[in-house]
Structure 1
Amino acid sequence: MNVISTQRLCKSYGRTEALRDLDLEVRPGEVYGLLGPNGAGKTTTLRLLVDVIRPTRGGIALFGSPMSPRLRGRIGYLPGDLVLYDRLTGAEYLGFCGALRDRPDPGEATRLAKRLDLDLGRRTDELSKGNRQKLGIVQAFAHRPDLAILDEPTSGLDPLAQREFHTYLREYVDDGGTVLFSSHVLSEVEHVADRVGILLDGRLVVEDAVASLKANAVRELTFAFAEEVAAATFSGVPGVREAVQVSGTEVRCRVSGAVGELVRTAARFPLVNVTSHEPDLEDIFVHYTEGLSDVR
């Protein structure tokens, strides 16, 4: 049973479609990263899942059931537009949040705040952006939820706090939790996510494991030869998308999938060196967003 399952989920604001026919599945015990440019539908998706807004049409199931007050207690939510009560200290704010839940765990909140170097004795209006974000993270995990839904969780965090949060996230999942989060920080998604989905114009255009996306992405190999070799030699090789003459003795190939046949072809000539540019998640993201622009 999936922790999150949506069926043709749509959200419209007047004539504007913010989300279109989203079929999303998040499995137990995984970290799922949701990517997309501004306005792609990421925040709309997360708000729909926690019942802050209602869908125009389509279905949502959490833990196999429709949203209910009982299910809300199993979810930790960090909104992208976090609002705090400025006259409360961090501890008072967490106490207030805990009183609204069926299973508060003050000990967990204290432990996580310590790990993130957050002073719970200070009033929230005295906190920096980064510390306000830390407090939002702590409240999302304070009751040890079964599912954490996080909108840009590391926004404003310094590198040390980000690293500690990523470590905590993996511990949380190893202990049985499930995470769905959105992010603009592609390196973060690549580092912590098991699977990733890319939203563009309200549609889920690609979804796969990070490793699979990278393995099937277009990469660049540059071959340096002892003598001139024509780029056309590689144009018909399986997997080669493009072959360009960089100089008389260098050829750059853009290739997807297995590169064995390309390397064997290059080895027929006096090969001096091979340089490979392995794609990262940013390359993949740019590839899909540019591809959509080309279609337009």
Structure 2
Amino acid sequence: MEIRISDWKQARDVSRKIREEVFIREQRVPEALEWDDLDAKATHFLAYDGRTPVGCARLMPDGHFGRMAVVSSRRHEHWGSRLLHSIERYAQHELHLRELRASAQVKALPFYQRNGFSAEPGIFDDAGIAHVEIYRAPGAPYGNSVLMPTEDFTAYRLDSLVAMAGWVELMLAGRPRSVTLICDSLDHPLWWRRDVLEAVSRYVRSARHREFRVYLPFENSSVVRHPLVRLQSRLGKRLSFFIHSGISSTVMLSHDWGYLRLAEPGSALGSMNDRATVQRLSDDYSEIFRTARPSREVRRVTI
């Protein structure tokens, strides 16, 4: 196991292969957005297991790093942390930088937070993927609690579909004991997004006791074609659907600390740590939870 440090001329072939696999094919980043002139100016880091390349990253002279990727078959083996620590050591001892910065995908934020990075408030769109700005002084103590489930007390306004999707990813990455979605319509584009559906799948699969419950206002035969329902056919009873005519709004609760509440079209409110509001919303919907019935349409197509 080693991290090799080189320029673009030496790293190009290996780095391009990994980035094409991870960003272009897997994450569907447009090829025109993946390649730029900055590669020639960057220091490149390549992770090897013996002779096999498994990951890559780049660091700019001003302390911005990025294009960090690990091939799917080698994730959860700490290659990302090894790359990150190598970047930090090089930045501190070779470039004498005071700060590292990056635009990180929201789904990777918990990884960076575990490695001592802080996040700036706000979720933004980069190539259609939710991102946050992260930073850390090399060698400094661990950072702040911004956008950290159960730690960040701030109430955020989310003014784009990408920001809402990123919020759902962060909430589910916090591994709440259960999640409830009270939804007046699955037609909202948020519930059709690939990143949101993948986040739901990751959450439910993360442990046997995880539950994701969806409450809808009425039965509709067309609901069986919705990707969230199709996902239920693979996840079983841990993703369940209920019907109650009293539903007229959309709220997602991560019990017992966070929420996402859709407001006017294209906007939402959310908090990662507001137990009082989550409890109040749970009380407001308690009668619906008590009296809702399982969806016959969903049950019919999943038997």
Q: Which has the larger helix fraction? A: 2
Q: Over alpha carbons, which structure has the higher Rg?
A: 1
How high is the TM-score relative to the length of structure 1? 0.24
How high is the TM-score relative to the length of structure 2? 0.24
